[in-house]
Amino acid sequence: MNILYGFLIFIHVVVSVVMVVAILMQRAKGGGLAGIAGGAASQAVFGGRGAATLIHKATIVLAIVFGVNAILLGVLSGYVAHEDSGTRAALEQELNQLQLYMEGGELPSATEDAPALPATGGAGETQE
């Protein structure tokens, strides 16, 4: 599952970059960046309206691929295992302790595994 998720992220990044380029290449009222590709040369190759239509269609296809890929990544993100997350395990342990406390138990004291807080000194004190 992790390989599929990584592949979909790679596709998402590539589609994003290509879509940005395609959007910037479209001719706007000010001319856009379509003139960089050769101006009249691009019109000669694709025809007068052909270049804009081809880039426009490519942008639509890229937008659809981007949207579907974003939905797939959202769905798959719930299935990707995050078992190696130490923060998640610590939060779950803290939650279990708080639930026990709320049920009437005592709040457990600091354990040896818990990190010690740094000492803070006053204005005239120095830390060693």
**Sorting pLDDT into bands at 50, 70 and 90, what band is 14?**
very high
Percent of the chain with pLDDT over 90: 25
Rounded-to-integer distance, Cα 71 and Cα 122, Å: 53
- Output the pTM of the full model: 0.50
Q: What is the pLDDT of residue 2?
A: 80
Q: Is the pLDDT of residue 121 over 80?
A: no
Q: Which range among 62-66, 77-81, 94-98 has the greatest average pLDDT?
A: 62-66
Q: Is the pLDDT of residue 46 over 70?
A: no
> Rounded to the nearest 5°, which phi and psi values hold at 110?
-60, 135
The pLDDT mean for the chain works out to 74
CB 76 within 8 A of CB 11: no
Q: What is the pLDDT of residue 10?
A: 95
Rounded-to-integer distance, Cα 59 and Cα 53, Å: 10
